[in-house]
């Protein structure tokens, strides 16, 4: 029995235990997540796409990152996996990231007033 190379969005939703609409939304937000599109417009995901969705799920739902914070982490991981291997770094505390984002938002509000 051969393993499938491509999966439908329904199959990926079952594998990742996420609703289909969440996967479609994350596609729009994460440039790294680009499934194959058939001529009919249907999406076909690879096993790597499923891994990436699980990484995003871990960062956003379990570790409390915002979508923009998760993007930064994934981008840094992608850069770190290049020719030079960096030492593994621990992700910053999500509460600190949230406070920094709130601070930026408040500074922007003050500027607008």
Sorted by where each starts, the structural domains of the chain and their CATH numbers stand as: 9-80+92-112 (1.10.1660.10)
Buried b (16+ CB within 10 A) or exposed e, 34-71: ebeeeeeeebbbeeebbebbebbbebbeeeebeeebbb
pLDDT at site 94: 67
pLDDT at site 23: 96
Cβ-based neighbours of 10, under 8 Å, separated by 6 or more = 20
Per-residue confidence band for 109, with pLDDT thresholds at 50, 70 and 90: confident
35: left (phi over 0), alpha (psi -120 to 50) or beta: beta
| pLDDT digits 0-9 by tens, 49-107 | 999 999 999 999 999 999 999 999 998 887 776 544 444 455 556 677 778 888 888 88
| pLDDT digits 0-9 by tens, 9-19 | 999 999 999 99
């Amino acid at each position: 029995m051969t393993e499938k190379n491509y999966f439908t969005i329904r199959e990926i939703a079952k594998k990742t235990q996420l609703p289909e609409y969440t996967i479609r939304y994350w596609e729009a937000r994460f440039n790294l997540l680009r499934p194959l599109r058939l001529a009919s417009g249907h999406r076909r995901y690879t096993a790597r796409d499923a891994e990436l969705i699980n990484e995003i799920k871990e960062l956003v739902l379990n570790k409390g990152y915002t979508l923009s914070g998760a993007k930064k982490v994934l981008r840094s991981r992608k850069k770190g996996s290049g020719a030079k291997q960096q030492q593994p770094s621990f992700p910053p505390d999500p509460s600190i990231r949230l406070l920094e984002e709130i601070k930026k938002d408040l500074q922007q509000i003050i500027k607008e007033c």
